[in-house]
Structure 1
Amino acid sequence: MFCHWGPLPDFSLIFVSSNIAKILGYRHDLIASGAISFSSLILEDDLSNFEAELATASEDTTYETIKHEPFRVKDANGGLVWIRQTTTIKRDELGYPTSFMAELVVASEIVKTQEELNNISRRMKLAMQTSGVGTWELNVKTGAVSCDSFWSIILGFGRDLPTITITRLFAMINPDDLFEFKNQLEQFLTGKKESFDLVVRVRHIDGSWRYMLTKGVITDVDFDGSPITFVASQTDITKQKQSEIDALDALGSRNQFFARVSHEIRTPMHGILGILNLLKRELDSQSALEQVEKVIENSEQLLFLLNDVLDLAKLNETQLTITSELSCVIEIAESVHRLFKEKAIDKGLAFTITNKLSDKHYIVCDKARLIQILSNIISNSIKFTHDGFVTIELFQKEQNIYISVIDSGVGIKDVSSIFDAYQQESNTQTGFGKGTGLGLEIVQRLCKLMKIDISLESNESGTEFSFDLGVAKSQPLDVDVSDIAELAELSLENFDGLKILVVDDSDINREIAEQMLVERGATVLSADNGYEAVKEVAKNNDIDIVLMDKHMPKMSGIEATEQIKVMFAEKTMPIVIALTADAFEVDNAVWFKHGLCELLTKPFDAKVLCTVIAKALKKRKLVAS
C-alpha cells in the first residue's frame, strides 16, 4: 500500500493506492478526497512516537528516508492492523519538507512473531536465572571474555561484570581442574575433540567453590576455518554435587561399619566353628555328636545370613568385583554337588548330576561366583523339597552351555517377584519360612553382573532354574596333569617339611589353625601380633608360610608383611597368606602390593585352609621356575 500526504501537522492525504480498501476496508474515493487525514488513522497510543520520528527526520536535512517502528492503524471496522512503514521525505530547495511518500506493509504476523520471540526470550532468561545457567563468550583471537549477567550473578559479581581476559577466567578455576579445562579447550578449538563438556569448580566472590557443568560450542570461524568465537554455558550444579559428596561420605561410613561388623562377627564365628569341628573328633557318644552337629549347622546358618547381607551391600555399592578364568563346567557342578551332598542325604533326597555334554567343556567365568549362584539355588531346592530329588543338569543348546537345577519341591507360586530382595514364598503349608529372602536377589544381581541369562519354570510338581553360560571355549593347552595331581594331593593331607608361622591376636584362632596344620605334618610357630611376627621371621629364616591376621595390636598384618618383604628378596620371602574377618576389600590392594600372596576370609575349615596353602605353594613354584 502506498500513500502520499502533506506536511505537518495534519498529514492531509494527497494520494493512496487503490488496495487500501482491501487492507483497511476504507472506500478509496473517501480517503482520496482528503476527508480523512493520515494521522487520524494511527492509534493514539502510537501517534506521538510516529510524529516524533517524523519531526526529528524533517529537521535533519541528511534524512531522506525513515524506517518507522511498527505502529497500529485503525481499519474501517474498528479493528487494529500493525503496519511497518518506510517514509521518503520530499524537500524544497531550502531543505524544508513539502510532502511525504510512504510504503506501508501489513506487519501483524511479523509483530506477532516478534512478540512470541520476546516472550520466549523472557521465559528462557527466567529459566536460566532460576536454573543457575550462565554463559560467557571467548574471542579466541584477542582472549577477551564477555560474561552475561546470569553468569555474573551465579558467582556473586552482580549483573555488571565487565569483560575479562581468559587469564582471569583461568585464575577463577580450581587449580585441580584447570589442567583438564585447558586441555579440553585446546583440543576442542583445534578440532582434536568433537565436544566440550566437563565439570569444573569456579571460585565464587565469597571464596567458595561452585561446581559448574560446562558445555561449549564454536559460533564463528575465520575464512580459513579457524575459530573466532567460543561460547560456553555453565550450569551451577553445586547442590547436586554436594549431595553426591555427602552420599559418598555416608557410603564410606557404611563401608567402615560393615567392615567392623564383619570382623566382629566373623572372628568369634571362626572360633566357634573351629572348636566345634575339633570337638567332633574327640566325641564318642552319638547323642553328643548329634548335638554338636546341630550347633555347627546353626552356626553355619548364621554365617550364610551374614554373607548374604554383606554380598547384597557390596552389590548395592558396586564394590563386588568379577574375575574371569577358564573353568571346566563339569568340575564346577561336581564342586557344588560335594558341598550339598551330605545335606541332601540327611534329608532323604536323591541328589544327582545329569551330564548331557559329550565332552569336557570350558567356559570363561568367575568360578567362585558361579559356584555361589548355584549354591544359593541348590540350598533353596533342598530346603523346599519334602521328598524326591534335586538334580544338576548340564546340556548344550546350539553353541551355548547350560546348567539347570531341577527339583521336585513345592514350587513357586509368584514367579514374577521371587527375585526381589526380602521376598519369600508364603510357606505356611510347608513350614519352611526361614531365611531372609536375599538369596535369589543376590543370584539375579550376580547373573546380571556376569552376563549370565537366567530363566525359571515352576509349578506344583517342582522348579527348574536354568543358566545360560555362553559359548564353550577350547580346553586349555597348558594344563599339566602331574601338577594338578600334586596340588590335589598337597591340598588334602601332606604338609610334611613345611614350617608355618601362625599370627593372630586371638588365642582360640591360633589354636585352631595350629591343630589343623600339625595334624597334616607341618611344623608350627605362633605370634600374637605383627611386631612379634617380624621378629619370629627374622629369627627363623627357614619359615615357608606365614598365616597373617589383619587387625592386631602393636603392628597390623599389612605393616608386618611390608617389614618382612624388606628383609627378603621376592623369591626367598616366606609366602604370606592373609587370614581376615573383613568382608569388604578395604586395603587389600595395598596388602598385595606389600607382598601378600593369598587371602582367606574367616571362618574357614581345614579343607579350605589346606587348599589355599596348596594354591600359594603352586604359585611360588611357578614364579621360581
Structure 2
Amino acid sequence: MLEKKARILIVEDDEDDYVIAKDYLEELDEYKFTIDWVATPNEALKKLELNQHDICLLDYQLGAHNGLTVLQKATEMQCRVPIIMLTGQSDKVLDKAALDAGAVDFIVKSELDGPRFARAIRYAIARQEVQKERLERINVETQIRSKDRFLAHLSHELRTPLTSILGYTELLLDSDKAQPVCHELNIILNNGKHLLSLLNDVLDLSKIAAKKLELTPTTFNLNSFMADIYTLMQVAANDKGIELTLVSTTALPEEIHCDPTRLRQVLINLIHNGIKFTDSGKVSVSVSAKLENNQYTLFFEVVDTGKGIPTEAIDKIFQPFEQVEDTISRKETGTGLGLAISSELANKLGGGIAVKSTEGKGSCFTLSISCPNLAGTKLCYLSLHRKVTGEKIAAITPLSGRVLVVDDVADIRMLIGHTVKTFGLNVDFAENGKQAVEKTLSSIEKGHPYVAILMDIHMPEMDGKEAVVEIRKRGVKQPILALTAANMKGVKENLQTLGFDNLVSKPIDKMLLYKHLSLVINAKTTTKCAPQEQVNLQQIEKQPQYFMLVEDDIDAAQITQILLESLGVKVEVVHTAQACREKLTSRKNWDKILVDVHLPDENGLELAKYLSTQNRSKEIVIVSGAEIENAAITSHGASRAILKPLNKEKLLELTL
C-alpha cells in the first residue's frame, strides 16, 4: 500500500505525553508523519499562522493556559489546519466548548491507543486533503479569471491606439498629401496590421488554452473558398518571385460544412509559412478527399522547396513561442504562435497537421479535417486555371468613376478594392448581397451611381445571384460583373441570364479585371430605370444620420469622428458616461449611440443598459477592444458589438 505523507503539529507541555502521542502516531502504518512539537500557546499560534501542517493535536491544559484560548485565536486568524483537542478526561461541557471553538474532534488521552484516535486522525487528514484540493481549484479558477480580465484589458488598451494609428494612416493614404511619403505611410500601415495580427494570435492561443474557443460551422462552396485563399497568397508569392500552384488530386465535394474562418486561418498560415521560408522555387498546394462512413476527410497538402526543418526541431514547431528560424535564421519575424494555433484548430476541426521535412530541400505540411457528407452535394475538381495575358498593367489608360466591390471575405474585398484603385477608380464596399442592393439603390437616389459593380457569387444572407436578380428587378441597368471560381461550361451563360453583364474568374488576374471594367465603363452604359418599371426606391439616407460617440481616448474618438463624417454622418463626441447622459436629451432621437466599454466613470455596458431604457436611440452599439459574449450584449440593451481597431469599412456597415 502506498504510504501517505502528512505533517503534524503536537502542542503539549508535558514531554512524556508528547512522546506517547508521537509513538501512537507512528503505529499508523499507512502514514509517514513529519512531527513538530511546541510546548507553549505562543509557539503554537506562530506555527498555526503559517498553515503548513495537515493536522494539529492540541492539549487542553497548557500549564497555566487553556487550550481553548489557542483554538479561538487560531479560528480568528483563519487558520486552515484541522485541530483535534486532547483532554485528560472526558467532559461533555469541555467537549462541546472545544467543538464550538472550531475543533474538528476531541480525544481523551487514554484513548490514544484505540481505534477512535486512528479514525479521528484519518478523518482530519482526509478533510485537510479535500480542503487543499478546493483551495487549489479556487486558486486556479481565480488565476484564469484574472488572466482573462488581464487579456481583455490588454486587448482593449492595444486596440484603442491601433484605431488611431491605422485610421489616420489610411486617411492620409487616401489624401493628395500622401504622394511624397506614400512608401513610409505604407510601412506604418503594414506594421500596424502586423501588430494587430500578433495580438489576435495571442488572444486565440489564450482562448484555446482556456477551452473557450468555439467553432462556427456553416455550409460554403469549397471551390470559391480555395480561390479566395489562392488570390490572397498569390500576392505574397509574387512579391518573392515564387510560383504558387493550387490543384485538386481527387474530385472534391462542391460544398462542405465547416468553420470557414478557422479553416482559412490554418491554410493561410501554412501557405504563408511555405512562402516565407522559400527563397526560390515554388509552393504547391494540393487538395484531396476521402469518403468513409458518410464522412469526408479532406487533405490539404502544402509543399515548399524552402530551407526545410532540422530533424531535432520538428517536434517543437507546434509548441507555442517556438520558431523554426531560431535554429536556421533570425531573418524572419513572428511570435512563433502560428503553428501552435493551427495545430489546435486542426484538432477542433476533426483532424490534425502532419509534417515531413528535409533540411535544405523543403517541407510538406498536411492538414486534415472532417466534414459530414452533405446530401445532394456534387463532386468536382478545383477550377482555378488562370489565363496569362502577357500584357503589362503599366500601359493602361486610367478609368474614372466609383465601383462597388461586393465580397463577404474582408481580405478579398480589400485586395480587389486596392487593385481597382490602381486603375484610377474610387471604391465602395459591401459584404453581402443585401448590402449591395441597398447601396446600389442609394447611390442612384443620391445621383452618384456606380459605374460598375463587382459581385461575388457565394455570400451569406443574400448571395450574388439573388442580389443581381433583385437589382435588375428594380430596373437598374448598371453593369454588374460576377466574381466566381466556377469556370465550367454553361456557367457564364447562366449568370448572364440572371442579369450579370460578364464574368471575372477567380483567382483575379489584374489585367483581365482591367479589361472587363474598361469595356463596361467605356461603353458609357447609362443607369436608367425602365419606363414601364420605375425603381421603387426607399428614402435611403435622404436625411443625414446622427450618431453619438462615447469614447474616452481623445485620439481614437477624433479619427472615428472623421471617418464617420466622411461617410456623411453627423457625429457628437463625448468622453464620459456622465457627459453622454447630459448630451442624450439634446436630440429627440439618435440614429445610433456608440459606447466604448472602458469609460473612466462607468462601465460602458452599464451605460448601454441605461440608454436602452431612455428610448432615444434607434440602436446602441458597443465598441470594445476585446470580444464580448452575445448574451452580455443583449442583456445590456445593445444590438451588437464592434471590435477595435475601427476603420472606414467597419463604420460603413453601421450607416447601412
The corresponding residue for 2:637 is 595
Q: Quick one: structure 1 residues 437 and 597, their matched pair in 2 at CA, closer, same or farther if it must change by over 3 Å?
A: same
> Could you report, residue by residue, the CA deviation over 1:457-477 in whole angstroms, capped at 9, with x for unpaired residues?
333443333322212453899
Given candidates 236, 249, 263, the residue that maps to 2:128 is 236
Give distance in 2, aligned partners of 1:161 and 1:395.
83
Q: Quick one: structure 1 residues 328 and 154, their matched pair in 2 at CA, closer, same or farther if it must change by over 3 Å?
A: farther
1:485 and 2:433 aligned: yes
CA RMSD after TM alignment: 4.7
Cα displacement (A) at 1:486: 1.6
Given candidates 148, 160, 174, the residue that maps to 1:267 is 160
The corresponding residue for 2:39 is none
* C-alpha contact (below 8 Å) 1:548/1:577 kept by paired residues: yes
Aligned residues: 414
Alignment of 1:475-624 (within 5 A): 484-488=432-436, 497=541, 498-534=545-581, 536=583, 538-540=585-587, 542-568=589-615, 574-582=618-626, 585=628, 589-610=631-652, 613=654
* C-alpha contact (below 8 Å) 2:305/2:361 kept by paired residues: yes
Cα displacement (A) at 1:559: 1.9
Q: Larger Rg: 1 or 2?
A: 1
The corresponding residue for 2:371 is 471
Q: Quick one: structure 1 residues 444 and 428, their matched pair in 2 at CA, closer, same or farther if it must change by over 3 Å?
A: closer
Alignment of 1:132-281 (within 5 A): 154=82, 156-158=84-86, 206-207=101-102, 234-237=126-129, 238-281=131-174
* C-alpha contact (below 8 Å) 2:605/2:622 kept by paired residues: no
Q: Quick one: structure 1 residues 422 and 358, their matched pair in 2 at CA, closer, same or farther if it must change by over 3 Å?
A: closer
Give distance in 2, aligned partners of 1:492 and 1:249.
52
Query: Which ranges in structure 1 are unaligned for 5 or more consecutive residues?
Result: 1-119, 134-152, 165-170, 172-202, 211-230, 618-625
Name the SS of the counterpart of 1:424 in structure 2: coil
> Could you report, residue by residue, the CA deviation over 1:91-116 in whole angstroms, capped at 9, with x for unpaired residues?
xxxxxxxxxxxxxxxxxxxxxxxxxx
Name the SS of the counterpart of 2:168 in structure 1: helix
Cα displacement (A) at 1:277: 1.0
> Could you report, residue by residue, the CA deviation over 1:13-66 in whole angstroms, capped at 9, with x for unpaired residues?
xxxxxxxxxxxxxxxxxxxxxxxxxxxxxxxxxxxxxxxxxxxxxxxxxxxxxx
Give distance in 2, aligned partners of 1:247 and 1:336.
40
Cα displacement (A) at 1:483: 11
Name the SS of the counterpart of 1:156 in structure 2: strand
1:412 and 2:459 aligned: no
Cα displacement (A) at 1:510: 2.8
1:401 and 2:298 aligned: yes
Point out the more displaced range, 294-303 or 270-279: 294-303
Cα displacement (A) at 1:514: 3.3
Point out the more displaced range, 339-348 or 594-603: 339-348
Q: Quick one: structure 1 residues 251 and 341, their matched pair in 2 at CA, closer, same or farther if it must change by over 3 Å?
A: same
1:421 and 2:320 aligned: yes
Query: Which ranges in structure 2 are unaligned for 5 or more consecutive residues?
Result: 1-25, 37-52, 56-80, 106-121, 378-407, 409-429, 444-539
* C-alpha contact (below 8 Å) 1:156/1:205 kept by paired residues: no
Give distance in 2, aligned partners of 1:206 and 1:331.
74
Give distance in 2, aligned partners of 1:492 and 1:288.
35
Q: Quick one: structure 1 residues 289 and 262, their matched pair in 2 at CA, closer, same or farther if it must change by over 3 Å?
A: same
Cα displacement (A) at 1:160: 11
> Could you report, residue by residue, the CA deviation over 1:426-469 in whole angstroms, capped at 9, with x for unpaired residues?
46766534222222112222333443322223334433333222
Given candidates 204, 207, 214, the residue that maps to 1:314 is 207
Cα displacement (A) at 1:304: 2.6
Give distance in 2, aligned partners of 1:327 and 1:557.
36
Cα displacement (A) at 1:389: 3.9
Q: Quick one: structure 1 residues 388 and 547, their matched pair in 2 at CA, closer, same or farther if it must change by over 3 Å?
A: farther
Point out the more displaced range, 320-329 or 293-302: 320-329
Give distance in 2, aligned partners of 1:464 and 1:209.
64
Q: Quick one: structure 1 residues 555 and 257, their matched pair in 2 at CA, closer, same or farther if it must change by over 3 Å?
A: closer
Cα displacement (A) at 1:279: 0.8
Name the SS of the counterpart of 1:436 in structure 2: coil
Cα displacement (A) at 1:206: 4.8
Give distance in 2, aligned partners of 1:546 and 1:246.
39
* C-alpha contact (below 8 Å) 1:352/1:392 kept by paired residues: yes
Give distance in 1, aligned partners of 2:620 and 2:286.
39
Give distance in 2, aligned partners of 1:476 and 1:606.
40
TM, length-normalised to structure 2: 0.53
Q: Quick one: structure 1 residues 353 and 592, their matched pair in 2 at CA, closer, same or farther if it must change by over 3 Å?
A: farther
* C-alpha contact (below 8 Å) 2:269/2:338 kept by paired residues: yes
Given candidates 330, 335, 338, the residue that maps to 1:439 is 338
Q: Quick one: structure 1 residues 549 and 368, their matched pair in 2 at CA, closer, same or farther if it must change by over 3 Å?
A: farther
Q: Give the AA of the match of 1:299.
A: G
Greater RCO (Cα-Cα under 8 Å, separation 6 or more) = 2
Alignment of 1:60-139 (within 5 A): 122-124=28-30
* C-alpha contact (below 8 Å) 1:363/1:469 kept by paired residues: no
* C-alpha contact (below 8 Å) 1:494/1:521 kept by paired residues: no
Q: Quick one: structure 1 residues 537 and 298, their matched pair in 2 at CA, closer, same or farther if it must change by over 3 Å?
A: same
Cα displacement (A) at 1:286: 4.9
Q: Give the AA of the match of 2:254.
A: K
Give distance in 1, aligned partners of 2:614 and 2:229.
42
Cα displacement (A) at 1:551: 1.0
Q: Give the AA of the match of 1:581.
A: G
TM, length-normalised to structure 1: 0.55
> Could you report, residue by residue, the CA deviation over 1:516-561 in whole angstroms, capped at 9, with x for unpaired residues?
3444444544433334445555544553333321112344321221
* C-alpha contact (below 8 Å) 1:406/1:465 kept by paired residues: yes
Give distance in 2, aligned partners of 1:282 and 1:338.
27
Cα displacement (A) at 1:566: 1.3
Name the SS of the counterpart of 1:315 in structure 2: helix
* C-alpha contact (below 8 Å) 1:503/1:546 kept by paired residues: yes
Q: Give the AA of the match of 1:544.
A: D
* C-alpha contact (below 8 Å) 2:596/2:623 kept by paired residues: yes
Name the SS of the counterpart of 2:167 in structure 1: helix
Q: Quick one: structure 1 residues 440 and 160, their matched pair in 2 at CA, closer, same or farther if it must change by over 3 Å?
A: farther
